[in-house]
């Protein structure tokens, strides 16, 4: 079983290492991630949001719905933690 897990992990690693051949070079200014939408965020952040910090303007202005969903995730996680940990306690009280 442990050998099977190790085999799966090494196979996945080999496939991913093969895939890195097509990845852009590290710190390449012309990589696809750096030329599609992020130049617009950097160039317009001052005139559109009056925020010099581009990370803040993207987080709170351009992609505010993403942050709203993030707060929903935290809320759901907190509620589910409370529910999971409370069920046992009430059942124990009933049995006793």
Q: Which residues bind another protein (CB under 8 A)?
A: 2, 5-6, 8-10, 12-13, 16-17, 20-21, 23-29, 31, 33-34, 37-39, 41-43, 45-47, 51-55, 58-59, 63, 66-67, 70, 73-74, 76-78, 80-81, 84-85, 87-88
User: Could you tell me if 71 and 65 are in contact, meaning their C-beta atoms sit under 8 angstroms apart?
Assistant: no
> How far are the Cα atoms of 17, 54, 72 from residue 69, in angstroms, in the given order?
33, 20, 5
Among residues 78 and 96, whose Cβ is nearest to another protein? 78
Shortest distance (Å) from residue 30 CB to another protein: 9
CA 55 to chain centre: 15
Q: Is 31 left (phi over 0), alpha (psi -120 to 50) or beta?
A: beta
Rounded to a whole number of angstroms, the minimum distance from the CB of residue 8 to another protein is 7
Compute the least distance from the CB of residue 96 to another protein, in Å.
Answer: 14
């Amino acid at each position: 079983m442990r050998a099977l897990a190790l085999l799966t992990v090494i196979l996945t690693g080999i496939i991913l290492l093969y895939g890195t051949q097509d990845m852009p070079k590290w710190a390449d200014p012309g990589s696809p991630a750096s030329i599609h939408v992020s130049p617009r965020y950097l160039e317009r952040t001052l005139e559109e949001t009056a925020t010099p910090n581009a990370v803040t303007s993207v987080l709170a202005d351009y992609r505010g719905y993403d942050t709203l969903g993030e707060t929903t995730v935290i809320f759901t996680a907190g509620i589910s933690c409370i529910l999971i940990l409370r069920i046992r306690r009430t059942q124990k009280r009933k049995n006793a």
